[in-house]
Structure 1
Amino acid sequence: MFAISLGDDGAELRPLEPWRAEEFLNHMDRGREFIGRFISLPDLVTDLESARSVLRTYADKAAADIGRIYGIWVDGKLVGGVLFRTMDIEHGTAEAGCWLEPSAAGKGLVTRAIRVIIDWAVEERGIHRVEWQAAAGNTASIAVARRIGMTRDGVLRESYPHRGERHDVEVWSVLAPEWRANRQKT
């Protein structure tokens, strides 16, 4: 297993694999309502078997080279994660996403972690376009998209049914040349 340091605060990015299902479930339990405000992940991870199932799905996606999931640990505690929900190597596109439990919010963890995985996708896998979709009310997620240099492509009106409500979804993206130019500035 590998771990990538995300800075001097004890934060690390690691693969989130099926053998970590119990830890993943405990993490979801700690942040269930906070995380579930805008994404369905906590609704899918409700017990040990469902936690394993979600992580197995991503292990299968990684094996097929069509997705990835990584956890963010701070001082050895799983507090969030980043992922590629989809990756289409042939067409050079991927959709990135994230989540955090409340104790980890506002510390720049997602911004640092998402930069690592986008760098990998662009430089190692040849991804040309990385997309980010966020419920229009998810200001924290939209702020991450802005911070990492994405451009708002538009809004998919009432396209995301979540917990009995339809939400507008903002679509953001960054293209490989833009990503490289932005990384040279920082």
Structure 2
Amino acid sequence: MGINNTPTKTNYSVDVQLFSTSNDFSANISCLMLPQITSNVPCNVINYKSWNLPSNLKLSDPEFYKPGNIDMLMGIELYFEIMKCDKRVRPGGFPVIFETELGWILSGEYPSENTSSSPETTCLTLTNDQLQQQLKQFWELEELVVLPKAKEQDECEQYYRNTTTRDFSGRLIVRLPLKPDRLPETHSIKQVCDFKR
């Protein structure tokens, strides 16, 4: 079962030895092969020049500000192995800087270049094309088809409006519409019942 309980079929796995470019850290992990983890992250180029990042930091992804493919999604079993204790928080809505075995990473909100008075929000989500296709098919199947009203239906509604009243207790008095030429003209209930059989 995959992200959002969506089944994703994979036929291949690979054993990977992960090496850090910052130090001598390495890890052996097994990975499932998928055509795509998510769309490019970030969605747009981020102007980070005003963030005044410390120049001595060796970032795990020096081009974090450019949209790019996600190569690997690591599980929690590796997370605690790569995270270190050093964390730098800067005021002013800048991302938090974390030290990892793979280099420094940035996480959190960042100042917007949006000059309008309304705030700008960026939301990074994982997408699943198979789920999108299933939802599309569901809504196509469940689409409400409105058929044009038949003349007979309009006549019935008009008959109801013209003949329905309320009695003194508030109950509705409804005259049933009868089609001409369907029932014999008679006052005998027995003849009506015999006719319906």
TM-score normalised over the length of structure 1:
0.22
Which structure has the higher relative contact order (CA within 8 Å, separation 6+)? 1
Greater share of strand residues, 1 or 2? Answer: 1
Say which structure is richer in helix: 1
Q: Which has the larger radius of gyration?
A: 2
Q: Given the two structures, how large is their TM-score scaled by the length of structure 2?
A: 0.21
